Amino acid sequence: MRGFSLLRLPLASIQRALVIALCVMFLAACGSDEIEEFDDGRGAAELYEQAKSALDAHNFGQAIVLYKGLQSRYPFGRHAEQAQLDLAYAYYKSNEPENVTATLDRFIRTYPSHPNVDYAYYLKGLTFYEQNISFLQRLVPGRRAADRDQGAARQAFDDFSELLRRHPESRYTPDARQRMVYLRNNLADHEIAVAEYYMRRKAYVAAINRSKFILETYPNTPSTGDALAILAGAYTELGMEDLKADSERVLAQNYPEHPYLTGKDPNKSFWRRIWVFD
């Protein structure tokens, strides 16, 4: 009986065999790591304490590994519940917003009556809030960063609103309320940026509609005066003198020092001059 030889096999068969062998070796290595890491008899309490120690030491990567291992081995009980919240925080500190929100959504669905569920709503809102406070906004003060996409700001506002609605007595509520004020002002400012864009493009009806939306949706924000000024300017361009006069009257009553009335051009500020992306 002749011995078996790889040389007698087609080249394609040899290549497939090598690929399969490498895959098996890789999976075996991964499996052995998991066993070494978590199949060592550590109980839920011990795993949780080790994960918490890593978290307190700002070793967020190790904390994530340990919390995930804890949830995998001990999916039930108080340690598993708290581990989900801690895992979300570790993801937050590791700048992994998608994993933060996925973990918190799962926690809220699974433990809607948990005594710390208010923290889940707060951390979720904070995650989107931090996404809204981008590097660009930290670098460039003022409105010109407000014309970027505001999806994260709206989601943060909604999450903080849910916290206030469900847990008005939460210790996180005062901070969430303050952040909502900022977000509301920022959303209004974003709408002003859009209305100004329409004015520059001579789309006066669109500018009027956007300004009315600001006055109805975000009243009593710093952008209210700008919305009234845009209304007056758009009505002027369209020759609607009565509506222009009404807008200017309300603007003068509430914002007598507004640049529209004093003749100062807000577009001549330093930041407006260097911003070239309109």
Q: What is the pLDDT of residues 222-256, one digit of tens each?
A: 999 999 999 999 999 999 999 999 999 999 999 99
User: Does a structural domain hold residue 180?
Assistant: no
* Stated pTM of the model: 0.72
State the pLDDT confidence band at 54, using cuts at 50, 70 and 90. very high
User: For residues 164 and 141, which has the higher predicted lDDT (pLDDT)?
Assistant: 164
pLDDT reported for residue 77: 81
State the pLDDT confidence band at 182, using cuts at 50, 70 and 90. very high
Task: Specify the number of domains making up the chain.
Answer: 1
Average pLDDT on 115-132 reads: 93
For residues 143 and 193, the answer to whether their CB atoms sit within 8 Å is yes
User: Does a structural domain hold residue 85?
Assistant: yes
pLDDT reported for residue 165: 96
Of 7-16, 80-89, 122-131, 236-245, which gets the smallest average pLDDT?
7-16
User: Does a structural domain hold residue 277?
Assistant: no
pLDDT reported for residue 31: 43
User: Does a structural domain hold residue 260?
Assistant: no
User: For residues 77 and 278, which has the higher predicted lDDT (pLDDT)?
Assistant: 77
User: For residues 274 and 65, which has the higher predicted lDDT (pLDDT)?
Assistant: 65
User: Does a structural domain hold residue 63?
Assistant: yes
State the pLDDT confidence band at 44, using cuts at 50, 70 and 90. confident
pLDDT for residue 149 is more than 70: no
What range defines the domain where residue 85 resides? 43-100
| Average pLDDT of every residue of the chain | 82
User: Does a structural domain hold residue 199?
Assistant: no
Average pLDDT on 73-83 reads: 86
pLDDT reported for residue 76: 84
**Residue-wise pLDDT tens digits, 7-35:** 454 555 555 655 555 554 544 444 433 33
pLDDT for residue 114 is more than 70: yes
